[in-house]
Amino acid sequence: MNPARGNGETIITVRGLKNGFGDQLVHDGLDLDVRRGEILGVVGGSGTGKSVLMRSIIGLQPPLAGDISVFGEATIGLEEHEATEIRKRWGILFQGGALFSTLTVSENVQVPIKEFYPGLDGALLEEIAAYKVVMTGLPPDAGPKFPAELSGGMKKRAGLARALALDPELLFLDEPTAGLDPIGAAAFDELTASLQKTLGLTVFLITHDLDTLYAICDRVAVLADKRVIAVGTIDELLALDHPWIQEYFKGPRGRAAVASAERAQART
């Protein structure tokens, strides 16, 4: 944890967000600030609206009410060309990777590049994709492979390579370590932290993985009761007496994550 990081500018601001489906209200008066340069973990029970929040921020879920700004610009109700300019500046790893199964890894990485820069020639696209593939720790020969030929961890890395295709400032990760074994998950966390540092990224990271929170998140936002009930370092959250927060961080899995973070600290 490095709470000092990200103390400057706010890169995402959400105010009074309201989302719902039919009779079900998912968010009601949700506020959140994400600071430039931080890795913000977003946690909450299943169905509390973490993915819906991410979808609202990236413009895939028009909210019932509220204001959202990213990079200092309001993102709701933008003209298509204005939205495109903003979308170029972020990358997204959706839950499960969401790779196109009929395209190779290299072709998957090229999808956003072709979308935003349709004029680039094939050789340059190949070159950019090859660079992104290697950057995410995949072997160079992963480029021509299809997703079905990859392990779960490799698929996540390929999804990350695609999310980084346009050199984003802001990265959205939706449960990136779900389905990975603990060693694969720890390796993915290390990759995220190292890319954040090297590329100066801001990371909005939805997770259920306590190890990830302890290992790489600067702050954690907790979703409950249709809003963000608290944001802070894990120590700051532990000082609160909200029952979900206490149960989450101090339950058996929370204690195991602390022990594992302490072991990792002792090794460095």
Ligand X SMILES: Nc1ncnc2c1ncn2[C@@H]1O[C@H](COP(=O)(O)OP(=O)(O)OP(=O)(O)O)[C@@H](O)[C@H]1O
Considering the complex, state which of residue 65 and residue 264 has its C-beta at the smaller distance from ligand X. Answer: 65
Is 144 near ligand X (CB under 6 A)?
A: no
Quote the least distance from Cβ 200 to ligand X, whole Å. 27
Is 222 near ligand X (CB under 6 A)?
A: no
Is 44 near ligand X (CB under 6 A)?
A: yes
Is 56 near ligand X (CB under 6 A)?
A: no
Is 97 near ligand X (CB under 6 A)?
A: no
Read off the tokens for 120. Answer: 């680039």
Is 47 near ligand X (CB under 6 A)?
A: yes
Quote the least distance from Cβ 217 to ligand X, whole Å. 16
Number of residues in contact with ligand X under rule CB under 6 A? 10
- In sequence order, what are the beta bridge partners of 77? none
Is 50 near ligand X (CB under 6 A)?
A: yes
**Stretch touching ligand X by CB under 6 A, among 45-53, 84-92, 111-119, 190-198:** 45-53
Read off the tokens for 182. Answer: 């603990």
Is 46 near ligand X (CB under 6 A)?
A: yes
Is 52 near ligand X (CB under 6 A)?
A: yes
Site residues (vs ligand X, CB under 6 A) = 21, 26, 44, 46-52
